[in-house]
Amino acid sequence: MNGIALKILLGDRAKYIGLIFGIAFSTMLMSNQISIFTGLMLRTAHQILDAREADIWVMDPRVEYVDEIEPMTDTQLGRVRGVEGVDWAVPFFKGLTVAHTRDGILQQVILLGVDDATLTGVTPRLVLGSVENLKLPDAMIIDRAGFQFMWPGEEPGLGKEMELNDHRAVIVGISDASAPFTTYPVVYTKYSSARDYVGRMRKQMSFVLVHGRSGVDTHVLAQRINAETGLKALTWRDFMLATIGYYVRRTGIPVNFGITVALGFIVGAAVVGQTFYIFVIENLRQFGALKAMGVANGTILRMVLLQAMVVAGIGYAIGIGLCAAFFEITSRASSNLRGFELPWQVAAGTACAVLVIIVVASLASLRKVMVVDPAIVFRG
Amino acid sequence: MAVRCRGITKSFPAGAGVVEVLHGIDFDVPAGELTMLVGPSGCGKTTLISIIAGFLGTTTGEVETCGRPITRMSDGEKVAFRRSNIGFIFQQYNLLPALNAAENAAVPLVAAGMPMVRAAGAAAGVLERIGMGAHLDKLPNQLSGGQQQRVAIARALVHAPRLIVCDEPTAALDAESGRSVLEILKDAALAPDRAVIIVTHDSRIYCFADRIAAMEDGRIRTVRTAPFAHLSEVA
């Protein structure tokens, strides 16, 4: 009877296309918006994600997320290094400053200062140059999108100069750093240079990046650092979640995206539910005839569910394909849109939402089919 | 006997009370005969065939269909019983619009578990027997009303049921098509071990009946057997 169910479905071309469109639209809207939302949220934690050699981030206890800097004195670094289980600990500077080029372009940049000796914290994804070049005088590494901000229309290249707070800086590397929440250029330099660029102060160290000894549990080590130094110590994952959580709690971003996603779900459920309901109601007499001829309720239930699943499967495939294509095209169109992609978790979550939509849409129709009196066929 | 009804009453809830639409019906349909059930609208014809086919239960009384006590069967048993033993022909044909003539006629075999290709082959044989061999691949909307009803006849015959129940099979057809459908029905459907019941208002087809039961107000008033001297009396 499955073949008959599919022929009934395909026979009503207009509703079949309408159902697929409804599911595809809903899938596209939900997966697209959730992906952009997750992309935005991951952007808030881009520095944490790019400095993955560090197991633990140590900061002033008042810091709630990565963009909130409460500078510490450099002596705190020594205290952290003294905690049992710490393999290495290095300073990390994070701040904003203004850069300008010889062409007169003025641009605020995210300045990241990494340990002079080890250069720990620089993104390993370099497009041009090498991380080691950062040890050269006045050296800096800028991200590709940032380069295009500073020198629009030029191919990324090394040796370009710009000024940071009246200090000369030379580009020795082009990185593919994760996109930041704001679209400012991301500039890596040595910790000592970063302090010069923003002006030396007594407290300037933003974070201490820590790597634990082999075999030491990072959560336990973080608690130990916290207990022994009074500083806040979080594993990179906890710090990333805390940063994302801050933006989720303190901004209207989730509400905006949540509304759109909810609309996608509701509109999808309404369009698909209504169309599927009408489709089933219009075929009610046929289902009644099948029941009269001895087709069991269970078989008819499977027929309707098969129709629903086929529509859901095709609609989902089209919708998720469109979403993936959208991110592929937009990421190529502008480097500012890099990092927005369709995570598999979103694709899987959307599939579950579509399943819920189609089940909800089928339920009302199924009830009608289950209770239809086969004697309906005797009514002219 | 294909159908034996004894003392059937049937009541339906209506507001606070109940309305009895069948009042103690005794009715037999012999095998090998075409029996017509006639009477004015609302007299209980459809209720009676719904009970005989197992769509409805009785309030009191017993029905044996093809020798089986259908009123005592569970819903699942009734479904399985109908699938094997009863063929239906409806006033509105009720063909599936997305299936061609052969596939439509094959539905009872597919419902019984036969693959569609084999079932459609068997159905094509039945359609050829009733003069529809040239229309096997046509969809219902490409067929005339008479041709659609012939496909419905093929569908009712394809699984060789022992009882065929027809509800106003000629109501949507012109006189010539109606006569043609009845000729086919009488030739192809009737067999010594198979009975046909037709519920109809159409006095033009009474002449095809072996037996006519006239109903009125939920009761069988008369049962006459062929030859009929005055068909108008029956009506």
Of A4, A297, A378, the CB nearest to B107: A4
A185 lies in the same domain as A295: no
What is the amino acid identity at position A207? Answer: F
Query: Percent of chain A having pLDDT more than 70?
Result: 98
Which residues in chain A have Cβ-Cβ distances shorter than 8 Å to B88? 289, 292-293, 377
Coil/strand/helix, residue B93: coil
pLDDT score at B229: 61
Check A374 against B86: CB less than 8 A apart: no
Which residues in chain A have Cβ-Cβ distances shorter than 8 Å to B90? 289, 377-378
Check B46 against A377: CB less than 8 A apart: no
Of B46, B80, B82, the CB nearest to A378: B46
Q: Into how many domains does chain A fold? A: 2
Check B94 against A285: CB less than 8 A apart: yes
Q: What is the mean pLDDT of residues A371-376?
A: 74
User: Which of A230, A262, A287 is a domain's end point?
Assistant: A230
Minimum Cα–Cα distance from A284: chain B residue: B94
Check A293 against B88: CB less than 8 A apart: yes
Minimum Cα–Cα distance from B78: chain A residue: A294
Length of chain B: 235
Check B107 against A299: CB less than 8 A apart: no
pLDDT in tens, A151-198: 888 888 899 899 888 888 999 999 988 878 777 899 999 998 898 887
pLDDT band with cut points at 50, 70 and 90 for residue A379: low
**Range with the largest mean pLDDT of A215-229, A272-286, B44-58, B164-178:** A215-229
Q: A214 lies in a domain?
A: yes
Contact A31, A13 (CB under 8 A): no
Which residues in chain A have Cβ-Cβ distances shorter than 8 Å to B107? 4, 290, 293
Q: A68 lies in a domain?
A: no
A216 lies in the same domain as A359: no
Q: A146 lies in a domain?
A: yes
Nearest to A107 by CA among A146, A156, A139: A146
pLDDT score at B6: 92
CA–CA gap between residue B126 and residue B205 (Å, rounded):
23
Handedness of CA B203, B205, B206, B212 (dihedral sign): negative
Q: B68 lies in a domain?
A: yes
Q: A90 lies in a domain?
A: yes
Would you give the distance in Å from CA A317 to the centre of its chain? 21
pLDDT score at B232: 56
pLDDT band with cut points at 50, 70 and 90 for residue A234: very high
pLDDT score at A280: 82
Check A375 against B46: CB less than 8 A apart: yes
User: Which of A170, A198, A230 is a domain's end point?
Assistant: A230
Top residue of B10, B41, B48, B107 to mutate, by most chain A CBs within 10 Å, is B107
pLDDT score at B139: 92
Query: Percent of chain A having pLDDT more than 90?
Result: 30
Q: B229 lies in a domain?
A: yes
ipTM of the complex: 0.82
pLDDT score at A292: 84
A286 lies in the same domain as A341: yes
Check B110 against A12: CB less than 8 A apart: no
Contact A265, A31 (CB under 8 A): no
Q: A106 lies in a domain?
A: yes
Q: Which residue(s) pair with A101 in the sheet? A: A162
Q: A223 lies in a domain?
A: yes
- B34 lies in which domain range? 3-94+161-234
> Chain B within 8 Å of A104 (Cβ-Cβ)?
no
Nearest to B213 by CA among B28, B38, B31: B38
Q: B192 lies in a domain?
A: yes
Which residues in chain A have Cβ-Cβ distances shorter than 8 Å to B46? 375, 378-379
- A214 lies in which domain range? 73-230
Span of A311-320, A363-372, B132-141 with lowest mean pLDDT: A363-372
What does the mean pLDDT of chain A come to?
87
pLDDT score at A33: 87
Minimum Cα–Cα distance from B93: chain A residue: A377
pLDDT band with cut points at 50, 70 and 90 for residue A235: very high
Task: Compute mean pLDDT per 10 residues along chain B, 235 residues long, and list them.
Answer: 90 87 90 89 88 89 90 88 88 86 92 90 88 89 88 89 87 78 78 86 84 91 78 55
Q: A346 lies in a domain?
A: yes
A21 lies in the same domain as A131: no
Q: Into how many domains does chain B fold? A: 1
Q: B118 lies in a domain?
A: no
Coil/strand/helix, residue B7: strand
Minimum Cα–Cα distance from B84: chain A residue: A294
Give the gap in angstroms from C-alpha B229 to the nearest C-alpha of chain A. 30
Q: A377 vs B5, which has greater pLDDT?
A: B5
Q: B226 lies in a domain?
A: yes
A86 lies in the same domain as A125: yes
Three-class secondary structure assignment of chain A = CHHHHHHHHHHCHHHHHHHHHHHHHHHHHHHHHHHHHHHHHHHHCHHHHHCCCCCEEEECCCCCCCCCCCCECCHHHHHHHCCCCEEEEEEEEEEEEEEEECCCCEEEEEEEEECCCCCCCCCCCEEEECHHHHHCCCEEEEEHHHHHHHCCCCCCCCCCEEEECCEEEEEEEEECCCCCCCCCCEEEEEHHHHHHHHCCCCCCECEEEEEECCCCCHHHHHHHHHHHHCCEEEEHHHHHHHHHHHHHHHCCHHHHHHHHHHHHHHHHHHHHHHHHHHHHHHCHHHHHHHHHCCCCHHHHHHHHHHHHHHHHHHHHHHHHHHHHHHHHHHHHHCHHHCCCCCCHHHHHHHHHHHHHHHHHHHHHHHHHHHHCCHHHHHCC
pLDDT in tens, A49-81: 888 889 999 999 999 888 888 999 989 999 999
Q: A246 lies in a domain?
A: no
Q: B147 lies in a domain?
A: no
Of A285, A286, A375, the CB nearest to B55: A375
pLDDT score at A170: 92
Nearest to B206 by CA among B88, B39, B50, B51: B39
pLDDT band with cut points at 50, 70 and 90 for residue A211: very high
CA–CA gap between residue B40 and residue B48 (Å, rounded):
14
Check B50 against A379: CB less than 8 A apart: no
> Chain B within 8 Å of A296 (Cβ-Cβ)?
yes
Q: B146 lies in a domain?
A: no
A81 lies in the same domain as A160: yes
Query: Who contacts B173 (Cβ-Cβ below 8 Å, separation ≥6)?
Result: B145, B146, B149, B181
Check B53 against A290: CB less than 8 A apart: no
Q: B136 lies in a domain?
A: no
Of B107, B171, B199, the CB nearest to A293: B107
Taking a contact as any Cβ pair under 8 Å apart, which residues of chain A between 359 and 378 contact chain B? 373-375, 377-378
Q: What is the CATH number of the domain that holds B183?
A: 3.40.50.300
Q: A260 vs B140, which has greater pLDDT?
A: B140
Top residue of B99, B148, B168 to mutate, by most chain A CBs within 10 Å, is B99
